[in-house]
Amino acid sequence: MKYQAVIFDLFGTLVVIEDMEAELDTWLGRFYDCLKPHGLDIPRESFNEWCLHHIRQEPPPPGKEDFTIFERRIQAVFSSAGLQVNPADIRQTSVTLLKVWNDYAVIDPDCHPLLRELSQQYTLGVISNYDHPPYIRRVLNDLNLKKYFSTVVISGDYDFKKPDPRIFHLALEKLGLKPEDAVYLGDSEEDIVGAQAAGIVPILIQRETTATPPDIIKRDYIQTDVLTINRLPELLNLLD
């Protein structure tokens, strides 16, 4: 057996958003509904572009509230709108927005069979770019995926994220392995570029779908010299 470990991206790889455009539209609508009672005076038709601009900005530094990066981004949006709210409002808004994401997230039906089989031969891990680590841990627990993984590295716990090779090296360190001992499966450019920079063999999953995500959240990445699969079970053939 050439490799000792298989490391996965989570969202877009093992868990998918089937209608990203609808998810984003719902998410922005809920965010608007959270801001409006506090005095938001931005028209609904102008809100989406305004919100996406501000949510993408560098979040404020950590404070005494012990907010996650995601909660600090929400805090920044409130502040940009000139709204003063208490920490409980920030946390409740976070809960509301994460529920939208959760409502649209669906586990790939091939996920459990694949991980069950791989776990008999390989050590498994996850690297996820996500600004709210508690949510990732809850998803893994709720979907009964936690049991498969020897390590879970979430960018929100650190000062770096994919494609920074440090997050890949951290996962390898936790597994006690070298880059040449692992392969990494992901669905985006940050996955492929980051794994390559870390010295790990990348594998790209590109599902065949008729749904086209909006440009602002497009994750498709085409590179002809990267091993590519269209469905999770195809990974088994590449590893044999």
- In order along its 240 residues, the chain shows pLDDT tens digits of 589 999 999 999 999 998 999 999 999 999 999 999 999 999 999 999 999 999 999 999 999 999 999 999 999 999 999 999 999 999 999 999 999 999 999 999 999 999 999 999 999 999 999 999 999 999 999 999 999 999 999 999 999 999 999 999 999 999 999 999 999 999 999 999 999 999 999 999 998 764 444 444 445 555 557 999 999 999 999 998
CB atoms < 10 A from the CB of 220, how many? 14
Which of 50, 81, 104 marks a domain boundary?
104
Q: Which residue has the tokens 């390590």?
A: 151
Distance, CA of 219 to chain centre: 11
What does DSSP assign to residue 217?
Answer: G
CATH number at residue 160: 3.40.50.1000
Select from 160, 208, 154, 179 the least CA-distant residue to 9.
154
Task: Count CA atoms within 13 Å of residue 98 on its CB side.
Answer: 20
Which of 74, 104, 134 marks a domain boundary?
104
Same domain, 111 and 208: yes
pTM of the model: 0.91
Task: Taking each helix axis as running N to C, give the angle between helix 87-104 and helix 133-142, from 0 to 180 degrees, rounded to the nearest 10.
Answer: 40
